[in-house]
Amino acid sequence: MKGPDAERAILTCADRLFYERGIEGVGMADVRDAAGVSLRRLYLLHPSKRHLVAAWLEDRHNRWMVWFRQTVERRTAEGTDALLATFDAIEEWATSPGYRGCAFVNTLAEVSEIDETHRAIVRTHKRALIDLLAELATRDHPDGPPWLPGALAVLIDGAIVRAAIFGSTTPIADARSAAARLLEVPPCP
């Protein structure tokens, strides 16, 4: 196996394993077996498990943001308000097999294997979500209140975590209803 192929296989398998079982539930030998590389190559590419986790988080952040933006755009093209479409994207995700909530929130919860590098990536991810929402709000709802992107981010993260806990899309539907209400014009004077 060539270098780039091995790196892709490692990150792909690490993503599946870490998301499925949590960081502490996956050993380096598990990643080795799943990716079909030698332990030697694994450690040459990622000098320690911490490095591997950091590389995984970076990779997942990039792929998730691309997926989320594309899914929202697709729904928007079908006529849905862009900000409401974010909840449809989350619902798509939450109904996919193996859904376990937000990998970044889960990683932060596993405090014993996390370091400041990991924390920084998690913050970057959540900051990127709010930035994307602010971008959509500025474009489609320029008269909304200044706290709108932050509130939508809270609704999205709350829906992600409650959907994972209950294995249900009801929290996402509730959050979407609330968001729709927030996007309506304010009450008459």
Interacting residue ranges for a copy of itself, rule: CB under 8 A: 20-22, 24-25, 100-101, 105-113, 122-123, 126, 145, 147, 150-151, 153-159, 161-162, 164-166, 170-171, 173-175, 177-178, 181-182, 184-188
Q: Choosing among a copy of itself, DNA, none, which partner's interface includes residue 171 (Cβ < 5 to 8 Å by kind)?
A: a copy of itself
Three-state DSSP class for 26?
Answer: coil
Per residue, the 3-state secondary structure of 122-187, as one string, reads HHHHHHHHHHHHHHHHHHHCCCCCCCHHHHHHHHHHHHHHHHHHHCCCHHHHHHHHHHHHHHCCCC
Minimal distance in Å, beta carbon 139 to a copy of itself?
20
How deeply is 34 buried, as exposed, middle or buried, from its count of CB atoms within 10 A (0-12, 13-18, 19+)? middle
Q: CB nearer to DNA: give 19 or 93.
A: 19
Q: Choosing among DNA, a copy of itself, none, which partner's interface includes residue 186 (Cβ < 5 to 8 Å by kind)?
A: a copy of itself
Q: What gap in Å lies between CA 103 and CA 9, rounded to an integer?
A: 19
Minimal distance in Å, beta carbon 21 to a copy of itself?
6
* Residues of this chain that bind DNA (CB under 7 A): 1, 6, 25-29, 37-41, 43-44, 47-50
